[in-house]
Amino acid sequence: MRADTIAVRSGRGDFDALGVHAPPIDLSTTYPFQDLDAATDSYDAMAAGGMPRGSSIYARLHNPTVARFEQALAAMEGAEEAVAFASGMAATTAVLLEARNRGGHVVAVRPLYGGTDELLRSGLLGLEVTFTTADQVRQALRPDTALVIVETPGNPTLELVDIAAVVAQAGEVPVMVDSTFATPVLQNPLRHGATFAMHSATKFLGGHGDVIAGVVATSGNWATRLRRIRVITGALLHPLAGYLLHRGLQTLPVRVRAAQANARVIAGGLLEHAAVRSVRFPELAGCDPEGLVGRQMSGPGSVLAFRVRGGYEAARAVLLKLELVTRAVSLGSVDTLIEHPVGLTHRIVDEDALAEVGVTQDLLRLSVGLEDPADILADLGQALDAVIPMEAAALATP
């Protein structure tokens, strides 16, 4: 089946037996059992990361509503299984904890989401990390390297990473790809050799700004290990969130393509504005030197970043002048969101590290939504118009 059909039809295998059309929500925290031996057998299976054998016993071990979302997401990623978590950071933490069982070292390619960067840098999980560039992964490996982490497109600069090339450098070391910006509609990391495809499901998968979640698509063997960590740490996804995500997947291809079409218009319009220094969008000249759009990704997505002439004060002024675009962190929602990475999503990242990957004080990240692109451009235009006099004054200052 093709992606659009998978999005609508997956995770519904038990609907006929249940006699339902819409996914049911199971809010039970505990599940009755009849036979103690059978219940013990089911508990042991789930505690080891497996699936229930009869009663689900307790909601921290398994929930059928969440499981349907996991089945649907796995189908969209072309994965054997998927494991959902309470947030994207919980999902990333679970992968890192599993890595810690096999070695004490991680290689990470910047830029990464600010929370991921800080988790790695903090040493909180007892892991050493080497930050590097995509072409230097092999040189950064050590005998105790247990994981390589990349994010593509990268947050917030939209830097693209050749997944297959990183996998080749990593050799036997598993590779985790944060594919949040691309979604399963535009990119499937496992098909390029990655071991884990991670999504902050809060973003495009949910798509409406009303659910916090994370999910990892991987093989059955790795999924079992991740479920065991979820059971132990309690990083489970609430059933209502699982329901909302399963529902969100049904419209994901339509939403992604519509927002992407809008983003193409917005990127072109921003390039023409005198107050814009540069625009980062995977489809623009110079933003995809390895030709990954069309080869690794089926499209550029709907997130872009642009630098405003006049530095921090000009970027701040643009934010203040906006009337339609929503000033908020996060992305992938039906409405267009704009934020200042240095001040917000990447505030906890080391300043030198930000400078190395081009995250500057004049940079704004824009997640394009489903509004009419002419209206979005008009709002951005009037806000940018206000900073042209600021830039002129700055240039005139001795």
Whether the link from the prior residue into 143 is cis, omega within 30° of 0, is no
Q: Distance of CA 2 to CAs 6, 22, 185, 187, Å?
A: 6, 21, 10, 14
Catalytic residue, from 117, 178, 288, 379: name it.
Answer: 178
**For residue 359, how far is the Cα from the chain centroid?**
19
Number of residues assigned to the chain: 398
CB contact at 8 A, 203 and 187: no
**255 counts as catalytic:** no
**44 counts as catalytic:** no
Tokens of 93: 């933490």
> First-to-last CA distance in the chain?
65
CA torsion through residues 66, 67, 73, 77, sign = positive
Catalytic residue, from 12, 110, 203, 255: name it.
Answer: 203
Q: What share of the chain is helix, strand, coil (3-state, %, to 5)?
A: 40, 15, 45
**321 counts as catalytic:** no
- How many CB atoms neighbour CB 244 within 10 A? 22
Residue 327 has phi, psi (to 5 degrees) of -80, 100
Rounded to whole angstroms, the Cα distance separating 204 from 183 reads 7
Residue 302 has phi, psi (to 5 degrees) of -130, 20
CB contact at 8 A, 197 and 149: no
Report H helices in 174-238: 183-186, 220-233
Tokens of 254: 């339509």
Report H helices in the chain: 3-9, 15-18, 36-47, 64-77, 88-100, 114-122, 137-140, 163-170, 183-186, 220-233, 239-271, 311-321, 351-356, 373-385, 388-396
Rounded to whole angstroms, the Cα distance separating 108 from 140 reads 9
Rounded to whole angstroms, the Cα distance separating 68 from 74 reads 10
**203 counts as catalytic:** yes
Catalytic residue, from 110, 113, 162, 309: name it.
Answer: 113
Catalytic residue, from 60, 142, 191, 277: name it.
Answer: 60
Q: Which active-site residues does the annotation give?
A: 60, 113, 178, 203
